Chains A and B, each alone.
Chain A
Amino acid sequence: MNVVIAEDLIKRYDGLTAVNGISFDIREGECFGFLGPNGAGKTTTMKMIQCVSPLTSGRLSVFGIDVSADPRSIKRYLGVCPQEFNLDPDFTAFENLIHYASFFDIPKEEARRRAERLLDFFQLQAKKDTLIDELSGGMKRRLLLARAMINDPKLLILDEPTVGLDPQARHLIWDQLALLKSRGLTIILTTHYMEEAERLCDRIVIMDNGSILDLGSPSELVRRHVGESIVEAKDSAAVRACLAKLPDGSKYEVAGDSILIATSKPKEILSAIMTDCGVVSTTIRPATLEDVFLRLTGRQLRE
């Protein structure tokens, strides 16, 4: 069953086309990732799924309900973890959860039980009675996740859930999200951390300028766009000229002072460039989603 079905979504505002005709569907129980540089339209897409931003055109349904027809019924079963912290600074961690539960009409006693359980799950029990301003970035992020889970959602929407966190905090969040996924929760995630997408997502789309560039599982995308491996060598005119003569060497890219050759036969390329092109030092590494991402969206900065 599909939890989200989007057909030809378009979102325009202030003379800008933020989302330009995208279609996708998200299956029950999967983790679906949106990858893209800043301004790609990821957050706008999330806001449309959350029923807080109306579509300019297209069709979008969540749990089989049209987003414009009955947002209240959809939002009842959504858990949303926004990019910006919007916890209530006047409340403690525990009060934040309890109070948020009241918006979902969860009875007081049940809300308390759930809040306790979620504080345990996200390892925040020690900070139960702490005011938000005194929490670290990682704790706030975990509390946002706990808050998103307070209504026992069927779909969890995470907008860059680990941005700005240290590795420990990031890994804790990854572990807990993987656990939630294993329990059957459907998760939508936006991120620009490739490792995060590779680790958590069953399928991802890569977006840029409001359009979807490709959709598939992380390994599919890597195979389709890059191949198995990357051979890296120091860039020089001689190496480039030499590569052009190789049968498999035409697929290369220059990044800084390195030349990156995507290939499914790394050892042959390696020996070829070392013997024929006079290269002395090279490395072979597996191709990653990051290579796909940079290939599809380009290397220029987005600001």
Chain B
Amino acid sequence: MRILWLFKPPSVSLKTLKVWQRDAKVFMKTYKVNFIPPALEPILYLLALGFGLGMFVSEIDGISYPMFIAPALLAISMMNASFFECTYSSFVRMYYQRTFDAIVATPLSLDEVIFGELLWGATKSTMYGTIVLIVISLFGLASYPTALLVIPFSVFIGLLFAALAMCFTAISPRIDNLNYPVSLYITPMFLVSGTFFPMSVLPPVVQSFAYAFLPLSHVVDVTRAMVLGDLSTGLLLNLLWMAVATAIFTLIAMNLMKRRLIV
């Protein structure tokens, strides 16, 4: 049982919000430019893939192609927001700026620093998710009121990908090493998780693999159901998988970080 240390429960008080506040304050200093990429990217994808490539696609599962990919674009932007925040940005704060060192010299613990970072990552998912939801709504691709469920749901998705990202950050010796999880994990996941084509066209083995190891496949299922207003009880399984994964990744991330930073 040599891996049990990875699951040691952390102790986190409300002080963790001070770390969240720090990140939020820095973000708000340049909020005008920060909100441009998340708004622009889905528009480009929608135009190029949805309405461009979509001209050659009749219908998928009974809906138009732009309608099919719009919820996926929303899911992807929520994934990217927290994943990139808690890999590259957290790495910069941890390693180059030594922000974590500065904060643990105050009454805050490292657990609280890391959890604050995860919360901030999750918050970015919510902000970016909301922007993309507005964009796809303007194209008439969201069905209300169920689409509004995406906003609270985005905190949960954000935390999932933030925790996963923080695990990679904790084990990367240098910032360049973070390119590996991005190109070997995030990019393939971005392509095969039922985003631009339905997973049913994949061989059953690949489908099972995707549902077992690729969080985005669950996130896309749930987001699509919410945006299209097509909720079903089957989604509970997706949510259960996500809840368990979030808990596990959060524990592992915090313990890996302690191993790295507390010597």
Contacts and interface: CB of A to CB of B under 8 A. Distances in A.
Contacts, number: 59
A72 B105 contact: no
A21 interface: no
Interface stretch (A84-92, A206-214, A256-264): A84-92
A82 B109 contact: no
Nearest to A87: B102
Of B25, B26, B107, B263, chain A has the most CB atoms within 10 Å of the CB of B107
Given A91-B26, A102-B18, A52 B105 contact: yes
A100 B106 contact: yes
B97 A89 contact: yes
Interface in A239-262: none
Given A52-B262, A53-B263, A54-B262, A75 B105 contact: yes
Interface residues of B, number: 21
Nearest to A71: B109
A71 B263 CA distance: 16
A100 B262 CA distance: 21
B199 interface: no
Contacts of A100: 102, 106
B98 interface: yes
User: Chain A interface mostly helix, strand, loop or mixed?
Assistant: loop
Nearest to A54: B262
Interface in B51-104: 97-99, 101-104
A85 B109 CA distance: 20
B14 to A, nearest CB: 10
Contacts of B22: 88, 99, 102
Interface of A: 13-14, 50, 52-54, 71-72, 75-76, 78, 80, 82, 84-91, 99-100, 102-105, 151
Given A52-B101, A82-B105, A84-B101, 11 more contacts: A14-B263, A71-B109, A72-B109, A82-B101, A86-B99, A86-B102, A88-B22, A90-B26, A90-B29, A91-B26, A105-B107
Interface of B: 15, 18, 21-22, 25-26, 29, 97-99, 101-109, 262-263
